Amino acid sequence: MNVLETLRKTRVEVAPETFFLLSLRRTDWLKLLENPELSPRMSAPFMILSDRWEVTLLLDEVDYETIRHTVRDAKTQGNFRFLSFDIELDWNSVGFFAEISRILAEAEISIGAISAFSRDHILVRQENLAKALKVLGEYIEEVC
């Protein structure tokens, strides 16, 4: 199946929450780990990515407000919506994310790309959500 056929069979789901991305220094991340009450509630999507430069957290607004006072020095970007592409992709699928990126780039919508084991997700700014869904709706079977 080619990329456009895969897109046509895809369903896009929009998480109801608004999300924040945080860039933490490793020392601030370790302080957060010391207090389990600051962990995500597990009722909304979240992400933790640690690389050699920083620890990045993706949290919904409720979890962000819970830890906000403890991460005052973090770089923060907010007002994102989390879109999930509900089609299970294997690791031999080529070009799925590239096609989504192309479609949204042509509409001048920037995205944050997130891949899980078998599904892809994107972050878009709240103010671009309606436009992104409209543009994707031309290629994707169901947008909700």
> Boundaries of CATH 3.30.70.260 in the chain?
19-79
Is the CATH code 3.30.2130.10 the one for domain 3-16+80-143? yes
Question: Which range in 41-45, 62-66, 87-91, 127-131 is most confidently predicted, on average pLDDT?
Answer: 127-131
Cα–Cα distance, 43 to 17 (Å, whole number):
10
Cα–Cα distance, 64 to 86 (Å, whole number):
26
Cα–Cα distance, 38 to 112 (Å, whole number):
24
Query: Hey, how many other C-beta atoms are within 10 angstroms of the C-beta on 120?
Result: 19
Model confidence pLDDT, tens digit, residues 10-67? 999 999 999 999 999 998 888 888 888 888 888 888 999 999 999 999 999 999 999 8
> Boundaries of CATH 3.30.2130.10 in the chain?
3-16+80-143
pTM beyond 0.85: the answer is yes
Closest CA to 4 of 103, 91, 119: 103
Measured in residues, the chain has a length of 144
Domain 19-79, CATH among 1.10.287.110, 3.40.50.1220, 3.40.718.10, 3.30.70.260? 3.30.70.260
